[in-house]
Amino acid sequence: MSASHFIRQLVDDDLRSGRHTQVRTRFPPEPNGHLHIGHAKAICINFGIAAEFSGTTTLRMDDTNPTKEDTSYVDGIARDVAWLGFEWVALTHASDAFDTMYAWAEHLVEHGHAYVCHQTEDEMRATRGTVTVPGTASPWRDRPWAESLTELRAMRDGLRAEGSATLRARIDMAAHNMKLRDPPLYRIRKVDHHRTGDRWCIYPMYDYAHPISDALEGITHSLCTLEFDNNRALYDWVIEHCPVPCRPRQTEYARLNIGFTMMSKRRLLALVEEKHVTGWDDPRMPTLAGFRRRGVRPEAIRAFCERVGVARADNLVDADLLEATIRDDLEPIAPRYLAVVDPVVLEVTNWPDADRPSFSAPLWPDKPEPRRDVPFGRRLLVERSDVRATPEVGFHRLSPRAVVRLRHAFVVTCDAVETDADGRITRVLCTADLASRGAPVKAKGTVHWVAEHAAVAMRARLVERLFTVERPDLEEDFRSVLRPLSLGETTVMGEPALAALPAGSHAQFERVGFFVADAVDSTPGAPVFNRVVALRDNSRPAAAAAERTPATTTPAAPVAPPPPLPPVAAAWVANGATDGDARALAHDATTEARARALVAAGAPARAAAAAAVHVLADVPSPPPNATLVTWLARQADGTLSARAARAVLDHLVAKGGDVDDAIDALGLRQLRDPAAVMPFVADVLGAHPDRVSAYRGGKTGLFGFFVGQVIARSGGRADPAVVADLIKRQLDAS
């Protein structure tokens, strides 16, 4: 997420002000379905922000609703996050903290901040009021706290029927923000939980569990989408009134909305259960599993999220942007092959029928090697959409008297286009210029082809957009706008080399699109191809999709190579500097001289170049070079994050002195010595003997609780890896 945005600025300000010394974010999906591309944006933001500021991210399962959650979803979520290329410091569950959440619920009751209410859901809704009319207090709002505590314990012990009682926060029934009108904190659900079994029959609401989980895990920045904007006041209320170990901050950003794409997990589940799609990994689904099956690479998803950026206001992203990003990602890695979707015979009349050579053709147009052999013969198969008996103005492919080039082969002149009684094209007759292969003979058009005698028939799915309207989420009946035949099952005639591609291999079918050999249905020697994306937007009406005739496409424009490196930049690159930093140094003699001075003082070239370009360029009077070399070394050995390093530099500029003294003065040194971390571990384990016993009794999910407590108790300075190792050693000891 390289572009500047308000979340980056907020985090930067927090670190500069000393509010936090290390960034900790979390990604908290509910395990009631598989992740979709909307979640990918949240993943990229949370993990990306943490990584940029040398922080950590926790993957937390928000498993507070046992009626919809399942272990298979937990596994799928972890698999999707890992596939995107991100690593979490810990995988936790909201249920890890059920004991703490309940204990703090009693704390709220005892302090007069919560009460047990016996109104039904309908009654609570009816007495909530409106934006202009205050709500009506529950008859049980002012019951004695001891009575509410007795009722809460009866709820916990299974003595109250489901729906007969709710724990509610006592806040303000006239609050302008209706989320604060005595919201429910706990409800009765006599359902087994996929992790805790039948231990609990009451479960916390998300708005209560979320801030507590954040606080227990030492989260510094709780990043949410805009629909949680009104929930922030309740988030802060819970943090304020519970004895939490730290105070996270919630910040909202706009969710990802893409044209022709539905993000509702409930509706996606309906598509699966009603068999409108083949499963969560159907290549038409917007799930990450669906994108993976379709052949989209994680690099493309990450690049798309970066292009979309981070904003405060909701907007609709054009689906073309996603498809363009996928094309950009596949262009340099997908080798080219010839394949025909809707074939018609082209006969080269001056080519001997018995002569069937193979032409050597490159797998990439801009690279002479590697190559593959492409069979040629008198009878070829070409795309029906490339032929016209009576061409329209501007049509430059096969039509009577037209001169075109056969890709990788000869220039041919179309002599005749034969049709049947219905006007359907049956054969094309051409004469080849046998001296034109590889020669600069002009032709207005180029067509792809496959030799009929060597063509391999292969299953392919010409995957289309699943919906016919741009905003399917706004349709009352989303089933009515499903695109017929969107999976586009058909047979493709391809060159022999395609049949040898293993499952998962990408290929560009020239002038048709990017494809992947399906990872599930492909078998050795018989790949089944999914179209990842067309070479350009091939959207068309459902009736045209049913004909299986793709729109005419043109090759993607070649990507211009970067300009050559200036000699100064080339020298820096040779010594390890990045291309971008080297180019910047070549264009600024002062900055380049500063980088050279750092190298002369003992700094590695890569670090010196990066510091000179990105940090020191706006520092009029930097510290001495020897001090800067030590400063760079503290970043290299992990003592300082990039943002902490800037704070140290500012300190050195203002007050001078030694780097290590500045680190200690600012309290930025990370605790990595086990001896320094162990007292915090001992304090936390000693303060929670019941949880230690529970962990040793099999509740290993408490591990994340202990790690969060230790990090919080150390003021955020304890290295998470050292903390985890010490806790494991202590808990596993007899």
Integer Cα distance of 11 and 438 in angstroms? 58
Tokens at 85, concatenated? 């290329």
Buried-state track 283-313, b at ≥16 Cβ within 10 A, e below 16: bbbbbbbbbbbbbbbbbbbbbbbbebebeee
Is 568 in contact with 592 (CB distance < 8 Å)?
yes
Tokens found for residue 375:
């069979």
**Cα angle 422-426-428, degrees, rounded to a multiple of 5:** 130
Spatial CA neighbour of 58 closest among 236, 213, 207: 213
Whole-angstrom CA distances from 722 to 47, 95, 671, 676, 681 are: 21, 25, 9, 10, 10
End-to-end CA, the chain: 46
Element (H, E) at 129: none
* Burial bucket for residue 198 (CB in 10 Å: 0-12, 13-18, 19+): exposed
* Contact (CB, 8 A) for 74 and 61: yes
Q: Which of 426, 289, 434, 423 is nearest to 352 (CA)?
A: 434
CA nearest neighbour of 694 among 183, 181, 276, 98: 98
Q: How far apart are CA 511 and CA 534, in angstroms?
A: 9
CB 618, CB 587: distance < 8 Å: no
DSSP string, 257-290: -BTT----HHHHHHHHHTTSSSSTT-TTSSBHHH
- Do the beta carbons of residue 600 and residue 627 sit within 8 Å? no
SS3 readout for 433-486: ECCCCCCCCCCCEEECEEECCCCEEEEEECCCCCECCCCHHHCCCHHHHECCCC
214: number of Cβ within 10 Å: 29
- Cis ω on the peptide bond leading into residue 370 (within 30° of 0)? yes
Q: Which residues are catalytic?
A: 30, 255, 265
